[in-house]
């Protein structure tokens, strides 16, 4: 009798373990399918979710409640037993301060919340961000190009909705010179408050002689020479990005050294260069070259470069083969006459022309495609400072 009971117990236990294994396999597959189909780019979304089979608990965090709900529906559809402990970001620990404004001339934003970690990107003073959580003195934030990574707490000023709206609606100035300073008094011989770089945005308080009196997100007050900046609204209204303006802006940065993750005059990587050039023309590109390659209008280059126009983005990398996928690793800007400008070691001009002194054989061999941005403003993935929801204060 005891032997029969033991056999029955072991049989039922085996069935239970086997069933748990099947459940785990189904859950893993569902999570994987959700990530693949609904979150194609992990750089612009948070979905860190896993299933603990011992406690039958779904754990983790996401900023996409609709994606989480789809996963829950699928789990229920497959009769999977689970407890839902997936946290929705922004974290409740932040209170109502889930918005922020970049507070430094250039804020370094990293892949993980620690200073030695890889530089993922940068954001300029005055850039609006959405805050998801805080950890180890860093904030997990999303910038207007939807990129998500970690910024030092000193790099942004957290705000509630009222404070954020006030910043958005306030009159501002934009720094247009490549590099300069703000001062404690309307005098360039007074104490410096901070450095400033092209694209920095500050609240305008008033004017004193040849200076704008401005306010930083953290309430610091400073004076900026008028010759180095302009009123933001006026600048925005007068923006008419053209092939010529893109080329002229790009050439301002010739010689600027390469910096992985950089997006400012202090140092740039290849996509940080193209992003900065277009930003200073009021256009917001995605962060990385592989992302930028998905936007804009495709230019026909099957038979050569005759269809290219100045300002077009050129993408380089590895062509797809029978066994490998295409890989975009580099981006530059076409100048015309077979020349292009790009950031590789330093911002410089190279040519596709084999007879030119600045011919770049490596780039010619690895050219993939070209995209035209100026014909895609406010469509095909391209937004502007006038329409981007972050700059309008309408971030989701």
**Contact in structure between 179 and 276 (CB atoms under 8 Å):** no
In a 3-state reduction of DSSP, which class is residue 155? helix
| Arithmetic mean of pLDDT, 358-370 | 97
- Find how far residue 309's CA is from the centre of its chain: 26
Q: What are the CA-CA distances from residue 317 to residues 176, 325, 339, 363, 369 (Å)?
A: 33, 11, 18, 8, 10
Residue 15 has pLDDT above 60, yes or no: no
Give the pLDDT confidence score for residue 23 in this predicted structure: 73
Q: How far apart are CA 214 and CA 128, in angstroms?
A: 17
Residues with Cβ within 8 Å of 217's Cβ and at least 6 positions away in sequence, in order, are 100, 101, 102, 103, 126, 156, 157, 159, 167
Residue 328 has pLDDT above 80, yes or no: yes
Pairing of strands 57-62, 148-152: unpaired
Q: Give the confidence band of 33 by pLDDT, cuts at 50, 70, 90.
A: very high
Structure tokens at 184: 């404690």
The secondary element (H helix, E strand) that includes residue 218 is none
Give the pLDDT confidence score for residue 13 in this predicted structure: 37
Give the pLDDT confidence score for residue 7 in this predicted structure: 43
Give the pLDDT confidence score for residue 53 in this predicted structure: 86
Give the ranges where 215-269 is alpha helix by DSSP (H).
232-238, 243-251
- Find how far residue 136's CA is from the centre of its chain: 22
Give the ranges where the chain is alpha helix by DSSP (H).
2-38, 65-77, 161-169, 232-238, 243-251, 270-279, 289-292, 361-365, 389-392
Which one of 77, 78, 330, 366 is the catalytic residue? 330
Q: Give the confidence band of 12 by pLDDT, cuts at 50, 70, 90.
A: very low
Q: What is the CATH number of domain 93-167?
A: 2.30.30.40
Residue 9 has pLDDT above 80, yes or no: no
Give the pLDDT confidence score for residue 26 in this predicted structure: 87
DSSP state string for 297-325: EEE--TT-STT--TT-EEEEEE---SSS-
| Arithmetic mean of pLDDT, 27-47 | 92
Give the pLDDT confidence score for residue 14 in this predicted structure: 42
In a 3-state reduction of DSSP, which class is residue 339? strand
Enter the pTM of the model.
Answer: 0.91
Q: Give the confidence band of 6 by pLDDT, cuts at 50, 70, 90.
A: very low
Q: How far apart are the first and last CA of the chain?
A: 65
Q: Is the peptide bond before 279 cis (omega within 30 degrees of 0)?
A: no
Q: What are the CA-CA distances from residue 136 to residues 46, 133, 152, 183 (Å)?
A: 19, 10, 9, 32
**Contact in structure between 297 and 311 (CB atoms under 8 Å):** no
Residue 3 has pLDDT above 70, yes or no: no
Q: Give the confidence band of 21 by pLDDT, cuts at 50, 70, 90.
A: low
pLDDT in tens, 172-211: 999 999 999 999 999 999 999 999 999 999 999 999 999 9
Starting at the earlier edge strand, list the strands of the sheet with 156-159.
119-124, 106-110, 148-152, 138-142, 128-135, 99-102, 156-159
Which one of 78, 270, 319, 366 is the catalytic residue? 270
Structure tokens at 128: 């609006």
Same topology, domains 93-167 and 170-235? Answer is yes
| Arithmetic mean of pLDDT, 1-27 | 51
pLDDT in tens, 141-161: 999 999 999 999 999 999 999
Residue 11 has pLDDT above 60, yes or no: no
**Backbone torsions φ then ψ of 204, nearest 5 degrees:** -90, 125
Give the pLDDT confidence score for residue 252 in this predicted structure: 97
Which one of 77, 229, 319, 342 is the catalytic residue? 342
pLDDT in tens, 62-103: 999 999 999 999 999 989 989 999 999 999 999 999 999 999
78 is catalytic: no
Q: To which CATH superfamily is domain 243-384 assigned?
A: endopeptidase domain like (from Nostoc punctiforme) (3.90.1720.10)
Q: Taking all residues of the chain, what is their mean pLDDT, rounded to a whole number? A: 93
In a 3-state reduction of DSSP, which class is residue 17? helix
330 is catalytic: yes
pLDDT in tens, 215-253: 999 999 999 999 999 999 999 999 999 999 999 999 999
Q: Where are the domains of the chain?
A: 14-88, 93-167, 170-235, 243-384
**Contact in structure between 16 and 22 (CB atoms under 8 Å):** no
Class (C level, CATH) for 14-88: alpha beta
Give the pLDDT confidence score for residue 25 in this predicted structure: 86
Q: What is the CATH number of domain 170-235?
A: 2.30.30.40
């Amino acid at each position: 009798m005891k032997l029969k009971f033991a056999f029955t117990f072991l049989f039922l236990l085996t069935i239970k373990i086997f069933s748990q294994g099947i459940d785990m396999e189904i859950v893993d597959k569902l999570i994987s399918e959700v990530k693949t189909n609904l979150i194609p780019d992990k750089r612009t979304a948070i979905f860190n979710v896993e299933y603990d089979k011992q406690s039958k608990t779904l754990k983790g965090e996401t900023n996409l409640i609709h994606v989480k709900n789809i996963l829950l529906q699928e789990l229920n559809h497959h009769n999977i037993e689970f407890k839902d402990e997936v946290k929705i970001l922004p974290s409740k620990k932040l209170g109502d301060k889930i918005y922020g404004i970049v507070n430094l001339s250039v804020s370094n934003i990293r892949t993980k919340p620690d200073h030695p970690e890889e530089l993922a990107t940068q954001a300029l003073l005055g850039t609006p961000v959405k805050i998801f959580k805080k950890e180890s003195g860093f904030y997990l934030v999303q910038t207007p190009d939807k990129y998500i990574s970690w910024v030092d707490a000193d790099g942004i000023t957290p705000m509630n909705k009222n404070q954020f709206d006030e910043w958005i609606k306030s009159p501002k100035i934009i720094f247009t010179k490549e590099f300069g300073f703000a001062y404690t008094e309307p005098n360039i011989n007074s104490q410096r408050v901070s450095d400033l770089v092209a694209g920095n945005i500050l609240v305008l308080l008033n004017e004193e002689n040849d200076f704008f009196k401005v306010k930083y997100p953290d309430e610091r007050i400073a004076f900026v020479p008028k010759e180095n900046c302009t009123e933001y609204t006026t600048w925005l209204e007068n923006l008419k990005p053209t092939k010529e303006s893109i080329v002229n802006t790009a050439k301002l940065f010739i010689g600027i050294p390469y910096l992985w993750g950089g997006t400012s005059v202090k140092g740039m990587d290849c996509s940080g260069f193209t992003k900065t050039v277009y930003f200073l023309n009021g256009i917001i590109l995605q962060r990385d070259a592989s992302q930028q390659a998905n936007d804009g209008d495709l230019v026909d280059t099957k038979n050569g470069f005759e269809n290219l126009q100045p300002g077009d983005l050129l993408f380089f990398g590895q062509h797809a083969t029978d066994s490998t996928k295409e890989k975009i690793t580099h981006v530059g800007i076409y100048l015309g006459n077979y020349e292009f400008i790009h950031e590789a070691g330093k911002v410089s001009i190279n040519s596709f022309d084999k007879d030119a002194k600045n011919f770049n054989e490596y780039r010619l061999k690895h050219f993939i495609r070209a995209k035209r941005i100026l014909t895609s403003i406010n469509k095909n993935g391209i937004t502007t400072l006038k329409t981007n929801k972050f700059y309008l204060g309408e971030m989701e």
